[in-house]
Structures are given as C-alpha cells and as structure tokens.
Amino acid sequence: LGGLEHARGKYSEGEPFARRSVEIRKLALGSNHPAVAADMAALAALLDGQGKFREAERLYHRALKIFERVYGPDHYEVAVNLNNLAVINQAKGNGFKAERLYKRALAIKEKIFGSDSLEAAVTMNNLAGLYKNQDKENEAAQLYHRSLSILLDKLEADHPDVIAVSENYALLSQAKTLPSIASLKSAI
C-alpha cells in the first residue's frame, strides 16, 4: 500500500504502510535480505517525498549496502539507490557528492542496458540538471541533448519523459545558443 500511496503522491499516508512492510520482512527474512532492502528503499522514497532527507538517506545507504553485498556493485538496484542518493545530495546542496553518485549510477546503467538505453537517458537528465544548477551549461547541454536523442528514438514525442527532458533542454537553451528541440526531432 505504501507504493500505491507513493504513486498517488500521498507520501505521508504511505509511510506507515511502508514502515510496517519493512518490519514484517525483517521478522520473516532477517535484516540483510534484498527484499528488506527493497522495502527500505520504498520507505526512503516516501520519506524523500516529504522532505525527510536525513532518514531517507540513511535508509538508501542501508539498502545500497545490502544490494551491493547480495548482487555485487554493478546491479540495477545499486544504480537506482545511487541515483536516489544523488537526488538527495543535490537537494541538500552537496553537488560534488551528487555528481559522483549520478556518474556511478549512469555507468552501471550503461553497462547493464547500453549507453543508448532509456534507463541511462533518465540518469543523464538528472546529471544534466545538476550541471545546469552548477552553471556548467556546456556539460548540461551535452547530456540533455544525448538524453533527448535517446528518448526521441525510443518513445513518442508526447511521452512524459520526452516532455520533461525537452522542457529542461529548452530552459537551458533560452540562456544559451543551442540546437532547438525541433531540429533534434527532425535529425532523428
């Protein structure tokens, strides 16, 4: 039920369900089981949505340790948790750490799914957003361009991910002379 409430944007309503799920799984499977880690990460997402970054970060770190121990350092769940930790660090103003986490998450996703995968494109967009906030316009533009090219190749133009990256790229383009979104779409 916590996941359903997260999907509905009702983070505080989902929190008690997610907490209970973590406790039940711990009792049934032990504290170091990957299913417990998945529930911890789900709870962390609900806490993150409420701005409870300290506890969310602690849970993401705990889940990350379990996933790395069970699956190894190059698993999808590791990449997801790294990305989520990067988002929290970016929100806290720790850009250096966020960049390192995004880059590691991106490297894992590219290794697993390929450099032109949808999964990699989403992380590229996140890293580009960090660069934009750090006034690293060239780096941001390159990643937005790359992400948007991948998304336009694989998704319809009205897909929410395409729209989000298009808007991000357009906002950056207003401040800088970059190829327009229309020219990107026609090139693909």
Q: How confident is the model at residue 13 (pLDDT cuts 50, 70, 90)?
A: confident
pLDDT of residue 139 exceeding 70: yes
Amino acid at 133: N
CATH class entry, domain 1-107: mainly alpha
Q: How far is CA 2 from CA 20, 31, 38, 71, 181, in A?
A: 9, 19, 12, 25, 37
Residue 11 is predicted with a pLDDT of: 64
Other beta carbons within 10 angstroms of residue 44's beta carbon come to 27
CA dihedral sign, ordered 59, 64, 67, 70: negative
More confident residue, 172 or 116: 116
Domain ranges within the chain, ordered by starting residue = 1-107, 114-188
Residue 185 is predicted with a pLDDT of: 56
Query: Is residue 144 within 8 Å of 169, Cβ to Cβ?
Result: yes
What burial class does residue 187 get, using C-beta atoms within 10 Å of its C-beta: 0-12 exposed, 13-18 middle, 19+ buried? exposed
Residue 176 is predicted with a pLDDT of: 63
pLDDT of residue 55 exceeding 80: yes
pTM comes to 0.85
pLDDT of residue 166 exceeding 80: yes
In tens, the pLDDT along 29-50 reads 999 999 999 999 999 999 999 9
Other beta carbons within 10 angstroms of residue 72's beta carbon come to 9
pLDDT of residue 52 exceeding 70: yes
% of the chain exceeding 70 in pLDDT: 87
More confident residue, 108 or 167: 108
Query: Is residue 14 within 8 Å of 46, Cβ to Cβ?
Result: yes
Residue 7 is predicted with a pLDDT of: 52
pLDDT of residue 111 exceeding 80: yes
In tens, the pLDDT along 75-96 reads 999 999 999 999 999 999 999 9
Helices (H), the chain: 2-7, 11-29, 34-49, 53-71, 76-91, 95-113, 118-133, 137-154, 160-175, 181-187
More confident residue, 3 or 124: 124
Residue 173 is predicted with a pLDDT of: 79
pLDDT of residue 170 exceeding 70: yes
